[in-house]
Structures are given as C-alpha cells and as structure tokens.
Amino acid sequence: MSVLSGKKILLGITAGIAAYKTASLVRLFIKLGADVKVVMTPASKDFITPLTLSTLSKNPVHSTFFDVEDENEIWNSHVDIGLWADYFLIAPATANTMSKMANGTCDNLLLATYLSAKCPIYFAPAMDLDMYIHPSTKESLDKLQDFGNIIIPATSGELASGLVGEGRMAEPEDILSFIENDILSKLPLRGKKVLITAGPTYEAIDPVRFIGNHSSGKMGFAIAKEAANLGAEVILITGPTHQQINHSFVNRIDVISADQMYTEVHNYFNDVDIAISAAAVADYKPKNVANQKIKKKDSSLTIELAPTKDILASLGAIKKHQFLVGFALETNNEIENAKSKIKRKNLDAIVLNSLQDKGAGFAANTNKITIIDKNLNEKPFELKSKTAVAKDIINEIVNSIR
C-alpha cells in the first residue's frame, strides 16, 4: 500500500504544454488509492479539458470562483478547497504562476487556493530552457522554497520549443515517487519496528467451547494502522477478531490462545523498538482441556482454572532498548491499579480505560483514556473515536522517544 492511499490530493494545473501529462498523474494517484480533486487556471483549459480530468478523478473540476453560465452555481470557496487537501501539487508550475505564487499575486482560483492551503505544497516547474535559467525564475524558485514549498526538480530533455535542455516537467511516475519518498522520509516512525497485540484470546475447554472475553480488537487495530501511517514497520499479533487491516507496513499474525500469543510476541520482541500490549489476554485457562465435547448434565460443572503466562510482565523483565506500553482496563481504583502495573511490570507507559466511563471499553467505537508514564504523570483525554485515540497514543509515544 502506498503512503498516499486514503490521502486527499489537490492537483493544481497551470497553462503549460506539460498539462497534458496531468491525465496520467490523476490516474496514478487514483490507482494508489488517493482521492483527487483538480483546480485549474482558466488558461490551462486550452491544454487539457476539465471533462477529461473530472472523468478520471470522479470529482468536479474548478477553474473559476463561480460558473458565469449558471446563475444558480454556488461560489467555489478557495478556502474550503485548500483546507480539504492533505497534499497540494501544482503541476505543471509555469514561470508565470510561480512568479505570482512568490509575490502573493492572487488573480485566479488556483492562486487563491494556494494562499489559503495549510497542507504541504509540492510544485513541478515546467518551461522552456531560457525561461528556466532566467534570474527572475531562479528568484521565484528560491522564494517558494523559502516559504516551505517543496520543488520537484525539472529534468533535462526535449522541450516543446524543439530545444533540448533543462526545464522539462518530471514524468508523472517520477513525481509520485518523489512525493512518496519525501513523505516517508519525514514520518516520525520511519525506520522503527513496532509490535502490537490486539483482540481477545480464546482458552479451550473442549473441542467446542472456550473461555473468552468481549474484546473486539478495534483499539489495537486502530493503533497498528496509525503506527503504520507514520512509517513504522508493524507486527500485529491478534487474537480472534473480525477486524481487518490492509496496509503494506503491517504484518498480521493470527493466534487463538494466550500461550500462542506469548510465543509469537517473544519471537519478535528482541528486534522491535516499541511494543504496545493492547490485547485482552485471558488471565486464566482451563487446567485440563477435554479431548471430546463435554456432555451436558443435570448437575453443575466445575472447571479448574490455571493462570496463563503474563505476557506483559515477561516483556518488562527482559526489555533492553524497547519502549514498552501496557493497557489497563479497570472497574475500580483505576489510577492506583494502573500505576501499580507500571512498577510491577516495568513499563514505560500504560493506557488506562475504565468501564465506569460511558463509551469506553470493549466493542465500542469510542474510548476514553488516561496515559500514565513511568514517572507516574497522568494525562487524561476526552471521549473520542478509537481512531482518534490511536493517534493520541502514538503521538505520546513519539514525543517520549524523541
């Protein structure tokens, strides 16, 4: 999966002959799973039609603040367009448009959107050789980069004028590769290995029945996705769950019992930088597992239980460089119990959620947590979606390991 999958890409097109390549750009973004919207300068429509780009992007294409031919047309808000995007690419970026961008000129929808955008902005220059090396163009390029915009360098090759030299817009495949590599290089967990456990464990009573709990795995899977989105190589060890994850940075390993999870966790722990134990591992398992289905009787059934191995404590006992995070689901004396686990299990942090809090705990789509660090500092968070909670957890870890 590309780092651009699920991202909102705004493509700005200006009036250069290289605009014909933007059809391929849109298709490549879509193929990688991105959502694409296009804003054009009015003159760029002489080089490629909005209909082509709208068909490929499956979104309306805008080039003016409103459609003069439609009296009912609503205003195309440059602010809304700019705020929508995760990344803004201007390609081709002509000498004229770059000069306007560098000097704050705002005479069309694309430039107004540029000045309103809050996301990272990439631009791919495209012009003839003499224009590209002109001192005014160099000044524009320097200014735009000083503003924090990211240049995708022009290449050398045959130009529209027939000359051969520098000024040719990078090819669509190279533009995407540049953006992907630039994003990856800036992700805070790039180069880190993260081990995450999720879901319940099932402890067999007989071939048919088991002891389990109500964990859905939603929290652990959300954490795994967020860590992967920030560049981490994630090993996700999960108990039985209906949750799905589709990310090239995530290696999913399915287990059933606490013993299986213990084995898999210890197979990977020595090589990871961060371990997050979000699974609801059974504390006990049947001491003896029947080989055949236990038949129902009128009398009561007694099952002797034995403790399972404490996975988190075992990791705390052998950790070296790893940043180890546990979870605590409590029903009473929450803070005290969570702080006790930090000390007993040699954790760097613990994520506390209480079943006393409405919307927190198993199966729900929301959670309310307090993160407690090894110095026993408490940081409470409001009730949020588990996706947002995962971001909070990973952000706290990133800030702790910097």
User: What positions carry a catalytic annotation?
Assistant: 213
Distance CA 221, CA 224 (A): 5
* Dist CA 314 CA 182 (whole Å): 39
C-alpha 291 chain-centroid distance: 45
> Could you identify the residue written with the tokens 């805070």?
188
Strand partners, 211: 203
CA torsion through residues 191, 195, 196, 202, sign? positive
Residue with tokens 């990791």: 315
Q: Cα 135 to chain center, whole Å?
A: 40
Q: Map residue 153 onto helix, strand or coil.
A: coil
Structure tokens, 140: 């524009």
- As a whole number of angstroms, the distance between CA 13 and CA 107 comes to 15
Rounded Cα–Cα distance for residues 322 and 196 (Å): 13
CA–CA gap between residue 201 and residue 189 (Å, rounded) = 28
Structure tokens at 183: 């994003």
Whether residue 198 contacts residue 243, with contact meaning beta carbons closer than 8 Å, is answered with yes
